[in-house]
Structure 1
Amino acid sequence: MFDKPLSDVTFDDIQELSDEQIEESMILDYKQELNDYSIIKQVTAFSNTKGGYLVYGIAETGKGGHPQSINGIESDFNKERLEQIILGNIIPRVSVQIKKIPIPDTDRVILLVHIPEGQSKPYYNNQDKRYYKRYNFSATPMDENEVEWLYQSRFFGMSKLERYIEDAIYSSQNKLPHELQLHGIEGHVVVTPLKIDGQMFEPSPEFGRELMDLHSSKIKDCHGYLTYSIRPSKFGIKWDDGDHLHNASNKVEIHRNGLVHSMKSCGSFYKENYIKRFDDELLACNLLQTLKFTSTFYSKINYIGKVKIMVKIFNCANSILTNGDSDNNDEMKCDSEEVLVERQWDSWKLEEDCVLIAKYIMDEVSNYYGLWNSRLFYEEAGVINYRGSYE
């Protein structure tokens, strides 16, 4: 159960916990009944420790014991209400996965709640005004020193991530001479865990090819996004077009710490009339592809948690948005040298929500050009759709 996505967990996995007499631990807790107050407390504790699983509908042999019976809970509880209870009572907001697992030949279910380790510790239970940790098979209040240490770690981690992104990705772009920047507009898409400590995978040509094959199975033609040129880099693995003219090439790179970076040209400079054109569709396509590719990458390395999504555009001052309007329309001109848009999302929802995420980001990018919304998205029957093609 612990080595597969939550969507693949079945009742057989729950039965195995009982058959193998798997005891409660730092990452596993059995509960016989579902209680709104208790789940807030338990989720807070797991988030502040190492993450883990809450399994409702199981009676254990005692504190820290193994399953004694699988009785289940009533199947008619409101899953959405439960999610809102968790989201509305824990600060900052946590990310949990919830699944109902039917018990064969009954009208009852097992409720499985997966809580990833929090990346913005400490988490605060706003219902009873306490911080909790997982200790000795239960949720235990944290002392002041523990809370202070987690706050220090959070703010240090955030500044470390910002420095890493600046040094690893953006600093080389800022150092380009002005005459080289005139060759076009560059759009960078970065998706990264909020914590970047440690190594999540071992770079190798085999890993790169396997990841490319997995992405190709989801995308009809991914070769416009990933090239056949798989190379090692100082950060991990990169796919690039081999064109290093002016120190700027289209590339996709995955870092050992789980960061994904895609850089694509998304505009041109025309010397004959001194006009820069920004192609928002190229940027949106790159963003959508990167979200899907990152989802595939995280599935392969079994990463689950909050991620930061960043879109940064360089050299866009005085550029005109390419959307069929006149080049001389001042309302469509950007007056900023750089554009930066950020969002946070759950890693396991990147593929499912990729169009929604892209709309939010591209709407904000369009604001820089004097537009309320991006022309590339529309809503139909309550569903956000993308007008272009990225598959």
Structure 2
Amino acid sequence: MESKSFFQKPVDELTFEDIQYLVDEKIPESYNLDYKRDNYEKSKTHELAKDISAFANTQGGYLIIGVDEDKDANGVTIPGDIIGIEKEEDIEKRIMDRVITSIMPHPYVTPKIIDIPENADRIILVLYIPQSHDSLHMVVVKKKNCYYKRYHDQNIPMDEYEVRTRYSLLSKSEGDIDSHTDEEILKMLGRCKSTMKGSLVLVLSPVFADYKFKDFKIARSFDDWDHYKHPKNLMLPGPSTKPRLGYFEKANDRLDPSCILQIGTNCNIRYISSHVFYPRSDVRYFDASETVYELFHILNIALDFYSKIGFFGYLRITVQISELYNSRLRFENLKEFSEEAPVLLNDFNLFRQTIESNYLFTHKKEIIDECLLPIFMEGGFDKVLNCWNDNDEPVVS
């Protein structure tokens, strides 16, 4: 598989080589990329707020501070030399403090400091700003209250009609996603008869107000993506028709064939499994270790897919565990079934959160623990245990 490009990496994985690639290839400024030669001085707080809020109010993007700006023959802004900015203590915190006081509500920003080889006194500062899923962000500096948006490579004010329209779309976004997710879960449960005795369902949906992925953009990514391939019995459309993502479905190779992983045309990722439950005499066992492994494994696959198509915005995550009532906890790394484990008397409450994908990439364990903690607490534990090793990776047999 080819290496990931700058736009296919989580911010935490960016390196100097990624910045050098942008410069060498003269990747121009665009709706999601902006270069800055110098750091933002205090006198330029309004410019900092405008640049960040415009990305958050549109489709998200990257501010790369420490790279000079140049023009090509057509007047398009391209990167010049890597200049770097002075390496200062707490530079990220000071930037974020200004964001908090100059943008309301303040958007999510992920900073990344990149060292410059052979120049220990200077750094590159990358600020990643995802598209906001639940609000527009107003610049509030020197009483210049204004909403900005990204238009090509410029930041321009939004007019009153745009602001009203965007808020209308934002108010519908999560509700529409949840309704669609509920319908998809019912369809998946209907297809898998083995889930009658219990099932685990995970659905991930990108959250955005006015942007839709195009099938052709995603279908091309499957050519070099290790996790998926065309099913052998699939009759694809003719050569003049681009394949739609709804055709791509494959059982997880490691898991039971009843485990199905799907990717929809809207970039939803859907997973269903029935073998986290073990029937035994009069009481079923819910395998906590296997559940943690499956959630962790599918989240890794999903995040790899989203990075392949260059999406690092917000994701709506839904986890449903059906028929948990009257089962006992079991841990795969413990050899014996515990007949003394408390019987679970309640079904699992649907877990739903909207999470920024870069945060999910670095906090999978925390999110999974938060999802499963109610089950463990009912099972007599005050935390999720016996499911992770010392490296925060799932324990598997």
TM-score by length of 1: 0.73
Q: Give 2:395's aligned residue.
A: 388
What is the correspondence of 1:1-391 to structure 2 with a 5 Å cutoff? 5=9, 7-8=14-15, 10=17, 11-13=19-21, 15-16=23-24, 20=26, 24-31=29-36, 32-35=38-41, 37=45, 38-58=47-67, 60=69, 71-82=83-94, 84-85=96-97, 88=100, 91=105, 93-96=107-110, 98-102=112-116, 105=119, 107-125=121-139, 130-135=146-151, 139-171=155-187, 173=189, 183-195=196-208, 197-199=212-214, 210-211=224-225, 213=226, 235-240=246-251, 249-265=258-274, 266-270=276-280, 272-273=281-282, 275-322=283-330, 327=339, 330=342, 332-336=343-347, 338-369=348-379, 371-377=381-387, 385-386=392-393, 388-389=395-396
Report the 3-state secondary structure (helix = DSSP H, G, I; strand = E; otherwise coil) of the residue aligned with 1:119.
Answer: coil
CA RMSD of aligned residues (A): 4.2
Q: Count residues in correspondence.
A: 360
In the alignment, residue 318 of structure 1 is paired with which amino acid?
N
> Which blocks of at least 5 consecutive residues in structure 1 are unaligned?
216-225, 243-247
Q: CA deviation at 1:252?
A: 1.5
Q: CA deviation at 1:361?
A: 2.0
Q: CA deviation at 1:136?
A: 8.3
Q: CA deviation at 1:321?
A: 2.1
Does the 8 A contact of 1:192 with 1:309 survive in 2? yes
Q: CA deviation at 1:169?
A: 2.2
Cα 1:236–1:351 change in 2 (3 A) is farther
C-alpha distance in structure 1 between counterparts of 2:260 and 2:50, whole Å: 44
C-alpha distance in structure 2 between counterparts of 1:156 and 1:252, whole Å: 27
C-alpha distance in structure 1 between counterparts of 2:231 and 2:80, whole Å: 55
TM-score by length of 2: 0.72
Q: CA deviation at 1:57?
A: 3.0
More displaced 10-residue stretch of structure 1: 305-314 or 112-121: 112-121
C-alpha distance in structure 2 between counterparts of 1:334 and 1:92, whole Å: 42
In the alignment, residue 20 of structure 2 is paired with which amino acid?
D
In the alignment, residue 341 of structure 1 is paired with which amino acid?
F
Does the 8 A contact of 1:334 with 1:369 survive in 2? no
Does the 8 A contact of 1:92 with 1:120 survive in 2? no
C-alpha distance in structure 1 between counterparts of 2:196 and 2:80, whole Å: 69
Report the 3-state secondary structure (helix = DSSP H, G, I; strand = E; otherwise coil) of the residue aligned with 1:33.
Answer: coil
> Which blocks of at least 5 consecutive residues in structure 2 are unaligned?
235-243
Q: CA deviation at 1:120?
A: 3.5
Report the 3-state secondary structure (helix = DSSP H, G, I; strand = E; otherwise coil) of the residue aligned with 2:197.
Answer: coil
C-alpha distance in structure 1 between counterparts of 2:140 and 2:329, whole Å: 45
C-alpha distance in structure 1 between counterparts of 2:221 and 2:284, whole Å: 39
C-alpha distance in structure 2 between counterparts of 1:56 and 1:207, whole Å: 30
C-alpha distance in structure 1 between counterparts of 2:362 and 2:250, whole Å: 24
Q: CA deviation at 1:117?
A: 3.4
Larger relative contact order (Cα-Cα within 8 Å, sequence gap ≥ 6): 2
C-alpha distance in structure 1 between counterparts of 2:394 and 2:31, whole Å: 47
Does the 8 A contact of 2:28 with 2:79 survive in 1? yes
Q: CA deviation at 1:329?
A: 5.3
Cα 1:288–1:14 change in 2 (3 A) is closer
